[in-house]
Amino acid sequence: MDRLVVSAASILRLAPHIVFRFDETRQRWIMMAPERLMLPDEQAVEILQLMDGQTGVGTIIDTLAARYSQAPRELIARDVTAMLQDLADKGVLADGVTD
Amino acid sequence: MASRIEPPLALLAEVTHRCPLRCPYCSNPIELDRASHELPEQEWRRVLTQAAALGVLQVHFSGGEPMVRRDLAALIGEASRCGLYSNLITSGTLGGERELQTFAAAGLKHVQLSFQDSTSNGGDRIAGLPRAHEKKIAFAKAVRAVGLPLTLNVVVHRQNVAGLAEMIEMAVALQARRIEIAHVQYYGWALANRGALLPTREQLDAATGLVETTRERLKGVLTIDYVVPDYYAVRPKSCMNGWGRQFLNVTPAGKVVPCHAAQTIADLVVPSVRDGSLADIWYHSEAFNRFRGTGWMPEPCRSCDRREIDWGGCRCQAFLLAGDASRADPVCSLSPDHSIIETARQEAQSLSHAFAYRHYG
């Protein structure tokens, strides 16, 4: 298996067996992976909610840039790509097109 | 108790102690629960429902070998209905693709499969079961064939750690995304066999170095989780991330404990799912409150600036080695009982390979 490298052209979705849901007990979004619980922060939750297996990373960045017009698009692009690469390296993301 | 008690994150459901393997470091207690004492399916269903209501997010079906139970698929199904994320911890020596299909259909999310070595000879000898290794290889392929994610779990010690590189390569070849490399922790069966299992300092350093370089090389391909033997640490492990903070374990007979070894603490009054709800036990039982937080701590823990990092280390280890579960974990170099650990390290220089397999008493 090769490493999944994230770029603006990537189309991503959650890997099978990853559960991203709202936890009523703790009143927050959680992400569960094999033997791992992740507590995504507000920004990560927003990005994950935009990730549907069809929308490209570039489009997600555009959406966020429009939502937060005070931040430079370049900075948003860097943060979003880094966060998604980190999740990809943890095995949380899969290629939206090929799988 | 200063701070609020948080709900638990994970439940280890030890549905049975029965197992075809006889590993000399088995984490089950020396006093194994017999099949006739196991909770029936209906009671396990109730435990799962109560766990989810209490805030548990993940359930690990373990044992013994959980696949000896014919109702395992039904229990996985119940866990899924409750919204629990379920994980199967198995030796992979019973069943294969047909059972795994049933589990996947019931909502199983992940399989953790144990290996005892990188070779058949070594693996079968340590497991005490002929053809165990070959069955595990076939089982790993079946896990991937049904599309479930796979973690390999390898317990390492003096007698197999030299093959660590091959074990990691085996994980990649079997398409595991994760490998858990855990040095033996010395409780119960493993403590009795410590003289034959504890690695030398040189072996440990070589293994740790290998893990570090391989982790970098396999980034994004294979995640390596690594548990070091605390006998060589300066400070204790944060055992279970603290007593009664995140984790609870239900034994085959329905005892509820803060960790799988807690029954070794002789004077601990262990509650049962038959006595009250999991919520009652989690929040109000003497067993779960006894070592919660920092109020119970003696010196040197009480004034230590790491008291909320390692939570005083392991209570079972304090009991087993120092004879008192409320003393500092002897692996800590600040513990007054630390010489016990130094002696054990010296013993690791011996050449003894003789160990006793686990067995029913």
In a domain, A7, yes or no: no
pLDDT at B23: 97
Q: Which domain does B93 fall in, by range?
A: 10-232
One-letter identity of residue B212: E
Average pLDDT over residues B20-26: 97
In a domain, A39, yes or no: yes
Is A3's CB within 8 Å of B220's CB?
yes
pLDDT at B353: 73
Q: Which domain does A51 fall in, by range?
A: 12-90
In a domain, B291, yes or no: no
Facing residue for A37 by CB, picked from B57, B109, B112:
B57
In sequence order, what E strands does A1-99 have?
12-14, 19-23, 28-33, 36-38, 93-95
Q: Does pLDDT of A97 surpass 70?
A: no
Q: How confident is the model at residue A1 (pLDDT cuts 50, 70, 90)?
A: low
In a domain, A59, yes or no: yes
pLDDT at B229: 84
Q: Could you tell me if B103 and B69 are in contact, meaning their C-beta atoms sit under 8 angstroms apart?
A: no
Strands B178-183 and B150-156: parallel
Count of A-B CB contacts under 8 Å: 59
Both tokens of residue B225? 């989780």
- Residue A44: C-alpha distances to residues A20, A82, A87, A88, B127 (Å): 11, 11, 10, 13, 44
In a domain, A99, yes or no: no
Is A17's CB within 8 Å of B148's CB?
yes
- Is B301 marked as a binding-site residue? no
d(CA B29, CA A5): 45
HSE-up (13 A, CA, CB side) for residue B63: 27
pLDDT at B2: 46
Is A89's CB within 8 Å of B55's CB?
no
Burial per residue of B267-295, b for 16 or more beta-carbon CB atoms within 10 angstroms, e otherwise: ebebbebeeeebeebbeebebbbbbbbbe
In a domain, B170, yes or no: yes
Q: In chain B, which residue's Cα lies nearest the Cα of A17?
A: B109
pLDDT at A99: 44
d(CA B348, CA B73): 43
**Number of domains chain A is built from:** 1
Is A34's CB within 8 Å of B9's CB?
no
What is the distance in angstroms between the Cα of B343 and the nearest Cα belonging to chain A? 35
In a domain, A3, yes or no: no
d(CA B316, CA B301): 16
ipTM of the complex in this document: 0.83
Both tokens of residue B355? 């160990």
Average pLDDT over residues B134-150: 97
CATH number of the structural domain spanning residue B141 = 3.20.20.70
Per-residue pLDDT of B67-118, as tens digits, reads 999 999 999 999 999 999 999 999 999 999 999 999 999 999 999 999 999 9
d(CA B161, CA B199): 8
**Contacts with A34 from chain B: Cβ below 8 Å:** 87, 109-110, 112, 149, 151, 177-178
Facing residue for B151 by CB, picked from A15, A34, A37:
A34
In a domain, A1, yes or no: no
- Is B314 marked as a binding-site residue? no
In a domain, B172, yes or no: yes
One-letter identity of residue B280: D
One-letter identity of residue B128: G
In a domain, A4, yes or no: no
d(CA B133, CA B128): 11
Q: What mean pLDDT, rounded, does chain B reach? A: 94
**Contacts with B148 from chain A: Cβ below 8 Å:** 17
Q: Could you tell me if A57 and A64 are in contact, meaning their C-beta atoms sit under 8 angstroms apart?
A: no
Per-residue pLDDT of B157-201, as tens digits, reads 999 999 999 999 999 999 999 999 999 999 999 999 998 999 999
The residue with tokens 């390296």 is: A89
Q: How confident is the model at residue A53 (pLDDT cuts 50, 70, 90)?
A: confident
**Number of domains chain B is built from:** 1
Using only C-alpha atoms, what is the Rg of chain B?
20
CATH number of the structural domain spanning residue A63 = 1.10.10.1150
Mutate to test the interface with B, among A17, A24, A28, A85 (most CBs of B within 10 A): A17
